[in-house]
Amino acid sequence: MASAFPSAFLPSLEALGYDESFAAHLEPGLVPGRVVRVDRGACLVLTGEGPRQAGNRLPEGERPCVGDWAGLTSGRDPVVRQILPRRTAIVRASASPGVSAGQVLAANVDVVYIAEPAVPEIDLGRIERLLALAWESGARPVVVITKADLAGTVLPESVMDEVVRAAPGAEVVAISAVARTGLDGLSPAAGETAVVLGRSGAGKSTLVNALARREAMETGEVRASDGRGRHTTVHRELLLLPGGGMIIDTPGLRSIGLQADGEGVSRTFADVADLAEACRSTDCAHDGEPGCAVAEAVADGTLPERRLASWRKLQREAEWAASRTDARLRAERENRWKAIHKQMRGHSRP
């Protein structure tokens, strides 16, 4: 708790983002608070009277995550009874086979920092995948190329151009958190919440410490052989920043499965969508059809072939995720009707 709240100063709920639209959904008798950390069976919630350890007994699928606004019971042993509607949510597909419901990584965030290290080399495919996740959430993505100092004095302009091309509509910055270069204007504004996403060893915790201007999170060394590091962050936690903003550090993401219906993919590949409008056929699959503007762009080098392959991969994944969600909703409806019919048959018996 000391890392999240370094001083005796406690911000108001309004400074943490609470407003009338959240208050309108709070059930009578409950105390509002923002979830700053979640542990097994309990969570740390910042209320108007300070941080409280609260029991977490909501059913699976309704449990709080970091960034949530929650309704707590009052008294010495508070319990989370309600999660207020989320304005944004970072949701990835569940790692468990056969589970169609997604895993919420963070809620009510305004900015998503996508941390990608400059060494040993930038993975454009991972940036595109995380961008799709960020756009789908409703938050504003910022691609942060970390450890720029390890790649030389300045990242080659051609490398940054490739990143910009892979991230249409998103801000792209190169930083060195250790040398404190590229950080100007990066911190979330007062009242805003940011979350940092990326693989283990991407420099997420180092970035958080630089923005917090203190050692808020533990950091680890990176192997010179492959640029990877050990998992120094083992939980998600919301931290208060000096300028009044907030940031959520996250553990390294080994898998980043898409969960939603593909709007994030469409925004990530807005350049492909723009080209597709010029295709001769309205249902062009961009796979050898005559008059395909996308194929022509690949042929003349306007669109990298790697990017088209990445679009196809994420598009298929988004379509699969949407079909699983539809199947889950159908099953839930069928189960509800079965329960209703069972209840009706029980009432009709003499």
**Domain co-membership, 94 together with 159:** yes
What is the three-class DSSP state of 44?
strand
Question: Which CA distances in Å does 295 have to 104, 124, 288?
Answer: 37, 20, 7
CATH number, domain of 213, equals 3.40.50.300
Please indicate whether residue 149 or residue 101 has the higher confidence score (pLDDT): 149
**Domain co-membership, 178 together with 206:** yes
Is the pLDDT score of 79 beyond 70? yes
CATH number, domain of 304, equals 1.10.40.50
Residue 208 lies in a domain: yes
Q: Where does the pLDDT of residue 145 fall: very low under 50, low under 70, confident under 90, or very high at 90 and above?
A: very high
Alpha-carbon distance of 338 to 344, in angstroms, equals 10
Residue 335 lies in a domain: no
- Residue pair 68/86 in contact (Cβ under 8 Å)? The answer is yes
Q: Which of 186, 216, 249 is the last residue of a domain?
A: 249
**Domain co-membership, 224 together with 155:** yes
In this structure, of 100-109, 131-140, 220-229, 271-280, the range with the lowest mean pLDDT score is: 220-229
Q: What is the CA radius of gyration of the chain?
A: 23
Predicted confidence at residue 241, as pLDDT, reads 92
**Domain co-membership, 106 together with 193:** yes
**Domain co-membership, 68 together with 195:** no
**Domain co-membership, 187 together with 208:** yes
In this structure, of 143-152, 226-235, 281-290, 297-306, the range with the lowest mean pLDDT score is: 226-235
Which backbone phi and psi does 48 adopt, to 5 degrees?
A: -65, -15
Instruction: State the sign of the Cα–Cα–Cα–Cα dihedral 307, 325, 106, 89.
Output: positive
Is the pLDDT score of 18 beyond 60? yes
- Listed as own residue / partner, the contacts of 107-110 with beta carbons closer than 8 Å and 24 or more positions apart are 107/65, 107/66, 107/67, 107/68, 108/17, 108/67, 108/68, 108/69, 108/193, 109/67, 109/137, 109/139, 109/193, 109/194, 109/195, 109/248, 110/139, 110/140, 110/188, 110/192, 110/193, 110/194
Q: Where does the pLDDT of residue 216 fall: very low under 50, low under 70, confident under 90, or very high at 90 and above?
A: low
**Domain co-membership, 94 together with 220:** yes
Residue with tokens 């709007």: 263
**Domain co-membership, 55 together with 158:** no
Residue 39 lies in a domain: yes
The pLDDT of 298-311, averaged and rounded, is 94
Is the pLDDT score of 327 beyond 70? no
- DSSP symbol at 317: H
For 120-165, the DSSP string reads: S---HHHHHHHHHHHHHHTSEEEEEEE-GGGG-SS--HHHHHHHHH
CATH number, domain of 63, equals 2.40.50.140
Residue 133 lies in a domain: yes
pLDDT one-digit tens code per residue, 237-262: 999 999 899 999 888 776 677 766 66
C-alpha angle with apex 93: 175 to 119, nearest 5 degrees?
Answer: 25
Predicted confidence at residue 224, as pLDDT, reads 43
Please indicate whether residue 101 or residue 33 has the higher confidence score (pLDDT): 33
Helix, strand counts (H, E) of the chain: 8, 13
Residue 165 lies in a domain: yes
**Domain co-membership, 75 together with 118:** no
Q: How many CA atoms lie within 13 A of 327 on its CB side?
A: 10
Please indicate whether residue 235 or residue 338 has the higher confidence score (pLDDT): 235
Q: Which domain holds residue 31?
A: 20-83
Question: Which CA distances in Å does 317 have to 249, 310, 349?
Answer: 26, 11, 48
**Domain co-membership, 66 together with 158:** no
Rounded-to-10 torsion of CA 191, 194, 163, 302: -70
Which backbone phi and psi does 268 adopt, to 5 degrees?
A: -65, -35
Highest mean pLDDT among 18-22, 159-163, 258-262: 18-22
Alpha-carbon distance of 204 to 117, in angstroms, equals 9
Q: Which amino acid is at 333?
A: R
176: exposed, middle or buried (C-beta count within 10 Å: 0-12, 13-18, 19+)? buried
The pLDDT of 255-281, averaged and rounded, is 85
pTM: 0.83
- What is the SS3 string spanning 46-87? EECCEEEEEEECCCCCCCCCCCCEEEECCCCCCEEEEECCCC
Residue 151 lies in a domain: yes
Q: Where are the alpha helices (DSSP H) in the chain?
A: 20-23, 124-137, 157-166, 204-212, 263-268, 270-276, 293-299, 305-348
Mean pLDDT across the chain: 83
Q: Considering its fold, how many domains does the chain have in total?
A: 3
Predicted confidence at residue 256, as pLDDT, reads 72
Residue 4 lies in a domain: no
Please indicate whether residue 13 or residue 97 has the higher confidence score (pLDDT): 13
**Domain co-membership, 159 together with 305:** no
Residue 173 lies in a domain: yes
What is the three-class DSSP state of 173?
strand
**Domain co-membership, 141 together with 27:** no
Please indicate whether residue 227 or residue 288 has the higher confidence score (pLDDT): 288
The pLDDT of 130-150, averaged and rounded, is 92
- pLDDT > 90 in the chain, percent: 52
Q: Where does the pLDDT of residue 7 fall: very low under 50, low under 70, confident under 90, or very high at 90 and above?
A: very low
Predicted confidence at residue 138, as pLDDT, reads 92
Is the pLDDT score of 264 beyond 70? yes
Alpha-carbon distance of 148 to 169, in angstroms, equals 22
